[in-house]
């Protein structure tokens, strides 16, 4: 059975883009893969200075993972917090020492984040090395991510190969896995939907504010009666990302755009209904989980024990390889 690892930063409430780009893959893969899915809490420290908010976001991501359909039963998905596996920071150091500085200079996410106003800390600069440590710590075969994370998995592969080159075969070299049809979902303003841009759609919102949020999606001023190009419309792009490009509901909506006579308000209504339908069971499950903190604790304890055992084995192997 192939082993899979992935994670998400607890930098804010998860959104439908995170689900379409990343979490849906985790849920699909859990059937026939050994799974490690974690909350990247150390990574979030590169952008957060609010301890209360950070710990609340961490708890929320765990609840959302399970609500979205990850099964944390023993032998299924190991869900854990990054900071419960301190071996990762040890591995991060070992990898830092084989990482040429130019590799970090080339990473695009640092520049992007600094241009958006994040402090250019050393932590933010070496963020990809910590991500490599997360990944390599459990010897995974596959890393399912959205397209914006592919560069980080490439860096991970380079670092693993460099370490292996200097010190002999130590790390397994993993591959990324994209869910091709998902693409990147735009947010309500038409930019990439992102926790840090305030443009997300949160599938767990109460119905009324959710409807309002969807109605606020920016569209152009094509009159109702005119045919419209769905590929240029944010509402359609989100719909297609969630329902799937080959789904009959997508084909039907596409046809309505092209035919003319449908206003954007109707398209938004279709998206609102799709979200309620797709996330109905997740919404109910989340309410149950919010009321059961003891269960969440147990899930995290078991997940951390499994991840730590594996990470210790890998870290010891790496220490020995480099002469420690
Ligand atoms: P955010 O930009 O909201 O902070 P993250 O960088 O934490 O999201 O990404 C978590 C996962 O969700 C990654 O695998 C990423 O590729 C995926 N993802 C994030 N935003 C989107 C989006 N708008 N569309 C598709 N996938 C996304
Ligand atoms: N950088 C990822 C994000 O922003 C989160 C992350 C940290 C991650 N470590 C990882 C993803 C390891 C996959 C594997 O979403």
Task: Kindly state whether residues 32 and 127 are assigned to the same domain.
Answer: yes
Query: What contacts 261, CB < 8 A, 6 or more positions away?
Result: 224, 225
Distance from residue 222's CA to the centre of ligand 1 (Å): 30
CATH number at residue 119: 3.40.50.620
9 and 126 part of one domain: yes
CATH code, domain with 231: 1.10.240.10
Q: How far is the CA of 104 from the centre of ligand 2 (A)?
A: 16
Q: What residues make up the domain containing 87?
A: 3-184+293-321
**pLDDT tens track for 186-236:** 999 999 999 878 999 999 999 999 999 999 999 999 999 999 999 999 999
- Catalytic residue selected from 195, 228, 268, 310: 195
287 within domain boundaries: no
Find the 38 Cα to ligand 2 centroid distance in Å: 9
CB 264 within 8 A of CB 216: no
In three-state secondary structure terms, 175 is strand
Percent of the chain surpassing pLDDT 70: 99
The answer on 308 and 161 residing in a single domain is: yes
Does 192 qualify as catalytic in the annotation? Answer: yes
Atom of ligand 2 nearest to the CA of 43: 7
Binding-site residues, ligand 1, Cβ < 6 A: 8-9, 11, 17-18, 20-22, 145-146, 148-149, 182, 184-185, 192-196
Note if 228 is an active site residue.
no
Ligand closest to Cα of 237 equals: 1
Cβ-Cβ contacts under 8 Å for 78 (sequence gap 6 or more) = 35, 36, 37, 72, 302, 303, 306, 307
Q: Do 51 and 103 fall within a single domain?
A: yes
pLDDT at 195: 87
Q: Which tens digits make up the pLDDT trace of 174-195? A: 999 998 766 899 999 999 999 8
Are 62 and 178 found together in one domain? Answer: yes
Residues 6+ apart with CB under 8 A from 256: 262, 266, 267
User: Within a domain: residue 193?
Assistant: no
For the chain, which ranges sit under pLDDT 50?
Answer: none
Q: For residue 21, report the distance from its CA to the centre of ligand 1, in Å.
A: 6
pLDDT of the residue at 179: 81
Q: How many domains does the chain have?
A: 2
Active-site residue identified among 53, 113, 162, 172: 113
Same structural domain, 99 and 141 = yes
| Cβ pair 170, 316 in contact under 8 A | no
Distance 40 CA to ligand 2 centre (A): 7
Task: For residue 184, give the ligand nearest its CA.
Answer: 1
Q: Is residue 197 part of a domain?
A: no
Whether 41 is covered by a domain: the verdict is yes
Whether residue 214 is found in the same domain as residue 177? no
| Separation between Cα atoms, residue 260 and residue 278, nearest integer Å | 27
Residue 18 lies in a domain: yes
Is residue 131 in a domain?
yes
Atom index in ligand 1 nearest the CA of residue 147 equals: 16
Q: Which ligand is nearest to the CA of 11?
A: 1
Same domain, 305 and 234: no
Q: Name the packing angle between helices 264-278 and 248-259 (round to 10°).
A: 170
Instruction: Return the residue whose CA atom lies nearest to atom 15 of ligand 1.
Output: 146
Residue 200: inside a domain, yes or no? no
69, 102: one domain: yes
Do residues 160 and 173 touch, judged by C-beta distance below 8 A?
yes
Q: Say if 43 falls within a structural domain.
A: yes
Indicate if 174 and 214 belong to the same structural domain: no
Q: Which of 53, 172, 192, 285 is catalytic?
A: 192
Cα gap 15→9, rounded to integer Å:
12
**Packing angle of the helix pair 127-136, 108-115 (nearest 10 deg):** 130
Secondary structure (DSSP) of 212-246: HHHHT-------TTS---GGG-HHHHHHHHHH-TT
Q: Give catalytic status of residue 106 as yes or no.
A: no
Give yes or no: residues 159 and 255 share one domain.
Answer: no
Residues 36 and 65 in one domain: yes
């Amino acid at each position: 059975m192939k082993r899979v690892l992935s994670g998400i930063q607890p930098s804010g409430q998860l959104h439908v883009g995170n689900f379409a780009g990343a979490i849906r893959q985790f849920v699909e893969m859990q059937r026939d893969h050994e799974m490690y899915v974690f909350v990247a809490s150390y990574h979030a420290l590169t952008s957060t200075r609010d301890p209360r908010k950070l710990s609340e976001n961490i708890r929320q991501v765990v609840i959302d993972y399970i609500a979205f359909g990850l099964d944390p039963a023993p032998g299924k998905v190991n869900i854990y917090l990054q900071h419960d596996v301190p071996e990762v920071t040890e591995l991060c150091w070992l990898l830092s020492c084989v990482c040429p500085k130019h590799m970090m200079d080339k990473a695009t996410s640092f520049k992007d984040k600094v241009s958006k106003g994040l402090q250019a800390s050393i932590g933010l600069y070496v963020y990809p090395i910590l991500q490599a440590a997360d990944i390599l710590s459990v010897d995974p075969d596959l890393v399912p991510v959205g397209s914006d994370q592919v560069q980080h998995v490439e860096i991970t592969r380079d670092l693993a190969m460099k370490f292996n080159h200097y010190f002999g075969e130590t790390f397994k070299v993993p591959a990324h896995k994209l869910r091709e049809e998902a693409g990147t979902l735009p947010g309500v303003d038409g930019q990439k939907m992102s926790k840090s841009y305030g443009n997300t759609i949160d599938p767990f919102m109460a119905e009324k504010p959710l409807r309002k949020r969807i109605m606020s999606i920016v569209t152009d001023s094509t009159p109702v009666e005119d045919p419209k190009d769905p590929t240029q419309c944010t509402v359609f792009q989100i719909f297609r990302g969630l329902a799937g490009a080959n789904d009959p509901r997508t084909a039907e909506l596409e046809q309505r755009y092209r035919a003319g006579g449908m206003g954007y308000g109707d398209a938004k209504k279709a998206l609102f209904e799709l979200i309620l339908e797709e996330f109905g069971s997740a919404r109910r499950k989340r309410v149950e989980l919010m009321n059961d903190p003891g269960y969440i604790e147990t899930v995290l304890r078991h997940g951390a024990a499994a991840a730590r055992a594996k990470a210790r084995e890998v870290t010891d192997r790496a220490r020995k390889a480099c002469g420690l």
